[in-house]
């Protein structure tokens, strides 16, 4: 039975557009893969640490030569990477913050992109997380779809494609749920807004 890794980063709970659409995805995914396993990695509690010297020094040493401090720093990285390898499919639900990924999602990326673990390291830098698909739902106040003037300011989609591709996740589909400012300013409701994007989300389940 397939496994879905569901990574969520919005802190806004039920008010979050990326979470609401992600919930729709997961519900449809469960129907399609009855008995499938869903691993939820919720980054909104902000418990993922930033990388520091013990992590950076530790990744270059064999496991049995790491200090207790290095081992502790690598534990969470190992756990997140194990979730990634366990998944057949990955879902990322995220806001756009300041034209790119929120800090909690960047912290996750820094911990899972690791030489000789998720990519081969130099010289070839081959991605090792292969054979997976990834769907990404990005909610943003403005709209950044191709052809719009703001598209050039979307530093999130291209970045996520690039970094996921770097570790071997090349089959990536992105749904841009742009224009959520209309909900924030009260000119539409979450339900009306989400209804516009639901067909694309359900289609992404396949």
Residues that bind ligand FMN (CB under 6 A): 10, 12, 16-19, 95-99, 139-142, 180, 184
Rounded Cα–Cα distance for residues 82 and 80 (Å): 5
Q: What are the counts of helices (DSSP H) followed by strands (DSSP E) for the chain?
A: 7, 5
Q: Which residue lies nearer to ligand FMN by CB, 128 or 148? A: 148
Tell me how many degrees the CA angle 129-132-138 measures, rounded to the nearest 5.
Answer: 100
| Distance of closest approach, residue 155 Cβ to ligand FMN, in angstroms | 9
- Give the other-Cβ count within 10 Å of 86's Cβ: 11
Q: Which residue lies nearer to ligand FMN by CB, 58 or 95? A: 95
Element (H, E) at 29: helix 17-32
Rounded Cα–Cα distance for residues 156 and 159 (Å): 5
Binding residues for FMN: 10, 16-18, 96-99
Binding residues: 10, 16-18, 96-99
> How far is the CA of 4 from the CAs of 52, 84, 85, in angstroms?
29, 9, 11
| Distance of closest approach, residue 133 Cβ to ligand FMN, in angstroms | 22
Q: Which residue lies nearer to ligand FMN by CB, 6 or 10? A: 10
CB-count exposure of residue 79 (10 Å: 0-12, 13-18, 19+): exposed
| Distance of closest approach, residue 91 Cβ to ligand FMN, in angstroms | 13
Rounded Cα–Cα distance for residues 163 and 167 (Å): 7
| Distance of closest approach, residue 146 Cβ to ligand FMN, in angstroms | 15
Helix or strand or coil: residue 203?
Answer: helix
| Distance of closest approach, residue 19 Cβ to ligand FMN, in angstroms | 6
Q: Which residue lies nearer to ligand FMN by CB, 79 or 192? A: 192
Q: Which residue lies nearer to ligand FMN by CB, 55 or 144? A: 144
């Amino acid at each position: 039975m397939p496994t879905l890794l569901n990574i969520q980063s919005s802190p806004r709970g039920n008010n979050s557009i990326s979470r609401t659409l992600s919930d729709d995805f997961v519900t449809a995914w469960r129907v399609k893969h009855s008995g499938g396993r869903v691993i939820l990695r919720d980054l909104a509690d902000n418990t993922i640490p930033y990388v520091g010297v013990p992590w950076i020094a530790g990744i270059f040493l064999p496991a049995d030569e790491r200090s207790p401090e290095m081992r502790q720093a690598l534990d969470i990285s190992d756990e997140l990477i194990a979730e990634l390898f366990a998944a057949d499919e990955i879902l990322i639900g995220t806001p756009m913050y300041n034209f790119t990924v929120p800090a909690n999602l960047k912290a996750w990326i820094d911990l899972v992109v690791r030489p000789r673990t998720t990519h081969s390291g130099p010289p070839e830098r081959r991605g090792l997380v292969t054979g997976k698909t990834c769907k990404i739902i990005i909610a943003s106040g403005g709209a950044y779809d191709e052809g719009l003037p703001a598209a050039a300011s979307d530093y999130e989609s291209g970045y996520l494609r690039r970094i996921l591709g770097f570790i071997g996740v090349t089959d990536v589909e992105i749904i841009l749920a742009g224009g959520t400012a209309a909900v924030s300013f009260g000119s539409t409701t979450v339900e009306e807004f989400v209804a516009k994007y639901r067909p694309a989300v359900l289609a992404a389940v396949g």
